[in-house]
Amino acid sequence: MSRKNSSPSLSTGKAPRKAPEPSAPPRRAGGEARGPVVERPVPQLAADLIGWLVTSLSVRLSRSASSYYQQHWNIGTTEYRLILALGIKHGCTAVRVAAAADVDKAAASRSLQVLRKDGMVELIKRGREMEVRLTPAGESLYQQLQAATLRREARITRGMSAAQVKRLHADLHRLIDNLPHISDDSDLSPPSKH
């Protein structure tokens, strides 16, 4: 992963810079926000189909997160997810941290090597497995990322009550629970013939 020259590199051994509160994105006529998340309108299919709506939201969240974490901490979304998972799991195998971060094992392995080189994690060989732990610099980065994540979550749920946020969380988990059945057509009745 290449590091930008314009911002301090994590590999300098210094603690990552603290992210400033970002300013509001530029506004278009009529007050519509413009930025990496709102580069185009939500597709019409998303108005009728939940899968399209969730995918559209996911793509926009990913683009926004990628830009935000790269700009403020010079890290990618895979490193971001691994740092957050390690901050919660506190020392676990590379396989478990990849699963906790919902990241492909190969991508996790590459990103963990970058984070190790940058002094954010230490990798300790334990028999046939590799244990991963945050260093003090990694713990500091985790604290900053966790705070930024909570701020961003509060922004995306702005205008929603605590009960609505809780319900949204439960509904999204229900969708995830239903994914194994998404291609199972056995419960569908055959098309009717007219």
pLDDT tens by residue, 99-138:
999 999 999 999 999 999 999 999 998 888 889 999 999 9
Q: Is 139 helix (H, G, I), strand (E, B) or coil?
A: helix
Residue 36 pLDDT more than 80?
no
Torsion angle in degrees (nearest 10) through CA of 149, 154, 160, 161: 100
Q: Which residues, at least 6 apart from 12, have a Cβ–Cβ distance to it below 8 Å?
A: none
Which of 114, 82, 83 lies closest to 101, judged by CA?
A: 82
Which of 155, 116, 137 lies closest to 13, judged by CA?
A: 137
Instruction: Specify the DSSP element, H or E, that contains 92.
Output: strand 92-93
Domain ranges of the chain: 42-74, 75-148
Q: How confident is the model at residue 144 (pLDDT cuts 50, 70, 90)?
A: very high
Q: What is the DSSP letter of 180?
A: G
pLDDT (0 to 100) of residue 38:
55
The pTM of the full predicted model, rounded to 2 decimals, is 0.71
Q: How many CB atoms lie within 10 A of CB 82?
A: 29
Q: Is 144 helix (H, G, I), strand (E, B) or coil?
A: helix
**Cα(129)–Cα(189) distance, integer angstroms:** 48
Class for domain 75-148, per CATH?
A: mainly alpha
User: What is the CA 41 to chain-centroid distance, rounded?
Assistant: 22
Residue 4 pLDDT more than 90?
no
